[in-house]
């Protein structure tokens, strides 16, 4: 039997595997990069081995170092998690050649299916060898890996070469394999997948369907099981998935993915690993897929038939990113992350952990299970709305609004959901009373410990906050009777440093206030306290292009130099942050008067990259 498992991964999935190992009495070993030295997965494992460096290519993509770590730490098995080397046949062979147990499918099955080009040929399909205008739109896709990295939709033939270059670079960075291919892009379809599990005795389970249609940048955001509204197509998907597994003598957990459109199923790929969204299947079937993976790796047989599905489960991925700013990833300190009881939270962070630039911006997965889909939707959306998430900007509001959107609630979604609805889903609706609550909470502490009210008439106290990108003022008075609001129809019922009760037009409202330096969280609203006298050094010349995130300048447009004319929307340079490339384009037509970005340069948020002087209007 397996006694010690090394997880060749990081973050949330490593912690999730360790949790099951702990329940089974199996010792755990983590690997960590220098950027992850104090990461949760490195802290909770029984042993941890350093992989020198920070970039994935130096650390989590170095199969030789990981095998060496397993042997030195006394592990007798390796679990690959997802991403990185999880679908790398060479790594699987190296694990086996070292005498370790590989908790995954045979290398031959990985080779057959992990490369999407080979998988399509195995299923009687083939990618496009050449692309013409008649083929548009097309999808450029990485042959290895997944998670939306190395994927681009191309709608104009002139942009194909540039997108191929970008996809190759992104795939090489994320998976160590720059191979990409091109296939027709089917619009208006649903992303549906089937979870399979196979043992070494010939049993293959089809563990239900999942719908993963809500995606950004081809990476899933909300997933659910079972996929609603498939009808008779469900059995067809089961048959195709089991057939694919048997075709390659599959062993372990895997996922067969389809695009469902016009009542037909189009094969996309087979992921020869555990998926990020596996918890919804676990909730519906009442199983632990990681425990079953270990059981299969130990040679134990599965039951002849899988357990019965019960109820409905929905998972939302919480990302440190700003959907309103092209999904820009965010960094900083995650001060607090809690969800109400009854919600499963899988995460690789604890309160106080830093969110860095090197890896995926996913903070956690929140999962709700209920007897019906409608009940699961209500449960998850309410839990996310009440969750305490203190730190960088996240997609929490987007998730809540997505779950409550009529199109999603009515199961009429497809992969173009965010293309159609992103503006309405990211329209900021700040709480107008949040600045007042923040000011009153702050004033409570000051009035009790720093001299408060005066026995003379005085001007209202004024505090300024930045909320949803705009400046807001809060006015109040500190009187003998206590704090009073300078706002019509508002009465201060109670105020202390953490909790403010306001009566607004006869309705009492409660505001929970938490402050970390100048960052203040009032319920789900984030504020930044502004100084009385702004620092003039923070102002930049008109046309300044500032780094929207910390990252690395990976390249600058060919031939681009200061003094060159540019047109609105023209790509100027590319940043890499959290394993994704982000294009920085000219905001308007004009002249590039300064170019500060240099390939390989590390930049922080707000760093000056370039300056574009706009053309004067005619």
State phi, psi for 195 to the nearest 5 degrees.
-80, 125
Q: Are residues 214 and 354 in the same domain?
A: yes
DSSP state of 537: G
The domain containing residue 508 runs over which residues? 434-529
Q: Are residues 379 and 467 in the same domain?
A: no
pLDDT of residue 538: 54
pLDDT of residue 539: 59
Number of domain units in the chain: 5
Q: Is 46 helix (H, G, I), strand (E, B) or coil?
A: coil
| Tens digits of residue pLDDT in 53-111 | 999 999 999 999 999 999 999 999 999 999 999 999 999 999 999 999 999 999 999 99
pLDDT of residue 534: 59
Higher pLDDT, 559 or 21: 21
Token pair belonging to 183: 């296939």
pLDDT of residue 185: 78
Q: How does DSSP assign 180-224, residue by residue?
A: EEEEE--TT-EEEEEEEEE-TTS-EEEEEEEEEEEEETTEEEEEE
Domain termination site, one of 103, 133, 166: 103
- Verify cis geometry, omega within 30 degrees of 0, for the bond prior to 298: no
pLDDT of residue 479: 86
Q: Are residues 416 and 439 in the same domain?
A: no
Task: Quote the CA–CA distance of 264 and 22 in Å, as a whole number.
Answer: 43
The structure tokens 């009777």 sit at 481
CATH number, residue 338: 3.30.470.20
> For strand 4-7 and strand 77-79, is the pairing parallel, antiparallel, or unpaired?
parallel
* pLDDT for residue 454 is more than 60: no
Q: Are residues 421 and 452 in the same domain?
A: no
> For strand 252-261 and strand 190-198, is the pairing parallel, antiparallel, or unpaired?
antiparallel
Higher pLDDT, 152 or 22: 22
Q: Are residues 205 and 329 in the same domain?
A: yes
Residue 540 pLDDT class (50, 70, 90 cuts): low
| Tens digits of residue pLDDT in 337-374 | 999 999 999 999 999 999 998 899 999 999 999 999 99
Q: Are residues 372 and 305 in the same domain?
A: yes
Nearest Cα to Cα of residue 280 among 310, 259, 244:
310
Sign of the alpha-carbon dihedral angle for 305, 308, 313, 318: negative
CATH number, residue 496: 3.30.700.40
Burial of 47 (0-12, 13-18, 19+ CB in 10 A): middle
Nearest Cα to Cα of residue 318 among 341, 340, 289, 338:
338
* pLDDT for residue 149 is more than 90: no
pLDDT of residue 602: 86
Q: Are residues 509 and 603 in the same domain?
A: no
The count of residues in the chain is 618
Residue 448 pLDDT class (50, 70, 90 cuts): very low
Does residue 363 fall inside a structural domain? yes
The structure tokens 């939306």 sit at 148
Collect all residues with Cβ–Cβ distance below 8 Å to 410 and sequence separation of at least 6: none
Task: Quote the CA–CA distance of 276 and 272 in Å, as a whole number.
Answer: 12
Q: Are residues 168 and 293 in the same domain?
A: no
Q: Are residues 171 and 70 in the same domain?
A: no
* pLDDT for residue 15 is more than 60: yes
Does residue 108 fall inside a structural domain? no
Lowest mean pLDDT among 174-188, 271-285, 394-408, 585-599: 174-188
State phi, psi for 111 to the nearest 5 degrees.
-60, -40
* pLDDT for residue 456 is more than 60: no
Q: Are residues 10 and 54 in the same domain?
A: yes
CB 45 within 8 A of CB 38: no
Q: Are residues 225 and 177 in the same domain?
A: no
Please count the CA atoms within 13 angstroms of the CA of 9 that sit on its side-chain side: 27
Q: Are residues 149 and 262 in the same domain?
A: no
Token pair belonging to 594: 């300064």
Task: Quote the CA–CA distance of 368 and 186 in Å, as a whole number.
Answer: 30
pTM for this one? 0.85
Domain termination site, one of 164, 184, 204: 184
Domain termination site, one of 381, 399, 425: 425
State phi, psi for 142 to the nearest 5 degrees.
-70, 140
């Amino acid at each position: 039997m397996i006694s010690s498992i090394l997880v060749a991964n990081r973050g949330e999935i490593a912690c999730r595997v360790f949790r099951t190992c702990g329940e089974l009495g199996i010792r755990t070993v983590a690997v960590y990069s220098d950027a992850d030295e104090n990461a949760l997965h490195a802290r909770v494992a029984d042993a941890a081995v350093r992989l020198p460096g920070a970039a994935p290519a130096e650390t989590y993509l170095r199969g030789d170092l990981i095998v060496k770590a397993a042997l030195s730490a006394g592990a007798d098995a390796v679990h690959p998690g997802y991403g990185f080397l999880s679908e790398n046949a060479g790594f699987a062979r190296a694990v086996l050649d070292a005498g370790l147990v590989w908790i995954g499918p045979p290398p031959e099955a990985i080779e057959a299916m992990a490369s999407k080009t080979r998988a399509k040929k195995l299923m009687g399909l083939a990618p496009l060898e050449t692309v013409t205008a008649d083929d548009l739109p097309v999808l450029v896709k990485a042959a290895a890996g997944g998670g939306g990295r190395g994927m681009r939709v191309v709608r104009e033939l002139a942009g194909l070469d540039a997108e191929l270059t970008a996809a190759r670079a992104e795939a090489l960075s994320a998976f160590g394999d720059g191979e990409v291919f091109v296939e027709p892009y089917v619009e208006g379809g649903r992303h549906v997948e089937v979870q399979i599990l196979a043992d070494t005795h010939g049993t293959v389970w089809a563990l239900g369907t999942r719908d993963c249609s809500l995606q950004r940048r081809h990476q899933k955001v909300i997933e659910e099981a079972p996929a609603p509204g498939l009808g008779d197509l469900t059995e067809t998907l089961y048959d195709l998935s089991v057939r694919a597994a048997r075709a390659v003598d599959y062993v372990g957990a895997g996922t067969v993915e389809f695009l469902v459109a016009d009542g037909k199923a189009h094969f996309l790929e087979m992921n020869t690993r555990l998926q990020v969204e596996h918890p919804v299947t676990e909730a519906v079937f009442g199983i632990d897929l990681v425990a079953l993976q270990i059981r299969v790796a130990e040679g134990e047989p599965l039951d002849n038939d899988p357990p019965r599905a019960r109820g409905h489960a929905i998972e939302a991925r919480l990302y440190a990113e700003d959907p309103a700013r092209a999904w820009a990833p965010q960094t900083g300190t995650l001060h607090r992350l809690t969800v109400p009881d009854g919600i499963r939270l899988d995460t690789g962070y604890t309160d106080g952990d830093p969110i860095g630039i090197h890896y995926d911006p996913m903070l956690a997965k929140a999962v709700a299970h209920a007897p019906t889909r409608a009940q699961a939707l209500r449960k998850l959306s309410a839990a996310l709305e009440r969750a305490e998430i203190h730190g960088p900007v996240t997609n929490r509001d987007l998730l809540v609004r997505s779950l409550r959107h009529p199109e999603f609630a009515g199961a009429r979604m497809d992969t173009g959901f965010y293309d159609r609805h992103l503006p309405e889903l990211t329209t900021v609706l700040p709480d107008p009373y949040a600045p007042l609550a923040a000011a009153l909470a702050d004033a409570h502490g000051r009035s009790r410990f720093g001299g408060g009210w005066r026995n003379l008439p005085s001007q209202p106290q004024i505090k300024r906050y930045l909320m949803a990108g705009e400046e807001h003022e809060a006015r109040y008075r500190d009187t003998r009777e206590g704090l009073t609001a300078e706002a019509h129809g508002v009465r201060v019922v109670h105020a202390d440093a953490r909790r403010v009760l306001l009566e607004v037009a006869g309705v009492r409202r409660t505001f929970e206030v938490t402050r970390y330096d100048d960052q203040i969280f009032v319920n789900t609203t984030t504020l930044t306290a502004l100084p009385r006298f702004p620092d003039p050094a923070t102002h930049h010349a008109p046309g300044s292009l500032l780094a929207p995130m910390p990252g690395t300048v990976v390249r600058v447009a060919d031939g681009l130099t200061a003094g060159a004319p540019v047109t609105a929307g023209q790509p100027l340079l590319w940043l890499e942050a959290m394993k994704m490339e982000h294009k920085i384009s000219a905001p308007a037509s004009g002249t590039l008067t300064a170019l500060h970005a240099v390939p390989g340069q590390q930049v922080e948020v707000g760093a000056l990259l370039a300056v574009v002087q706009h053309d004067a209007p005619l």
